[in-house]
Every structure is written in C-alpha cells, then in structure tokens.
C-alpha cells in the first residue's frame, strides 16, 4: 500500500510540475493567431504576423518576449521568436 501511495503522489507532483513549466509560448490560445493552420506548423506572413502581434494583449506580449529572450525557453519556439525579432520586437 505504501508503494501505491508513493507512486500516486509522485505522479500528482509530476503533473503539477509540468503545468508550472508551461509558458506563454506553450499556450495554444496565445500562439494560434500567428499560424495559418490549426496544427500550428505554418507561420503567417510578416504583415499578418505583425497584425496578430499588435492584437495580442500587452501582458501576453511581455510574457512572450521574456520567453523569447531566454535561450532555453525559446528553443522549441525558435521560428516564432526569430519572426518576432525580425520585426524588431526584442529587448
């Protein structure tokens, strides 16, 4: 019974930890406006990307910029961050 409780506790903690690690760039709701397809594989054109960026709330923009400026956080979203930086949006 102790092993079962330990495994269940470990699983619960890992699920909570995974949620805590998700950032603004990992939220589909935040990222969908920048892609042409529902699978979020094809980025919009530069003009459409900038329009989507301007429509993004400032709080979300700040969180996204913070993650793009962090090498480890931005690695999975390199294409998005490169497009953002190409538009001159970096700190």
Going from the C-alpha of 51 to that of each of 19, 45, 80, the distances in angstroms are 29, 10, 14
Contact between residue 57 and residue 14 where contact means Cβ atoms under 8 Å apart = no
Mean pLDDT, all residues of the chain: 83
pTM above 0.75, yes or no: no
Residue 1 banded pLDDT, cuts 50, 70, 90: low
Element (H, E) at 79: helix 78-86
Q: Residue 7: what pLDDT?
A: 54
Nearest to 69 by CA among 52, 39, 89: 89
Using the predicted structure, report yes or no on whether residue 67 has a pLDDT greater than 60. Answer: yes
Strands (DSSP E) along the chain, which ranges? none
CA dist., res. 71 & res. 90, Å (int) = 13
Structure tokens at 18: 């995974």
């Amino acid at each position: 019974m102790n092993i079962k409780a330990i495994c269940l506790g470990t699983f619960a903690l890992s699920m909570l930890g995974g949620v805590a690690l998700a950032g603004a760039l990992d939220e589909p709701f935040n990222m969908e406006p920048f892609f042409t397809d529902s699978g979020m594989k094809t980025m919009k054109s530069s003009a459409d990307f900038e329009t989507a960026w301007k429509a993004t709330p400032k709080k979300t923009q700040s969180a996204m910029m913070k993650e793009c400026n962090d090498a480890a956080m931005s690695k999975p979203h390199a294409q998005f961050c490169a497009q953002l930086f190409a538009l001159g949006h970096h700190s």
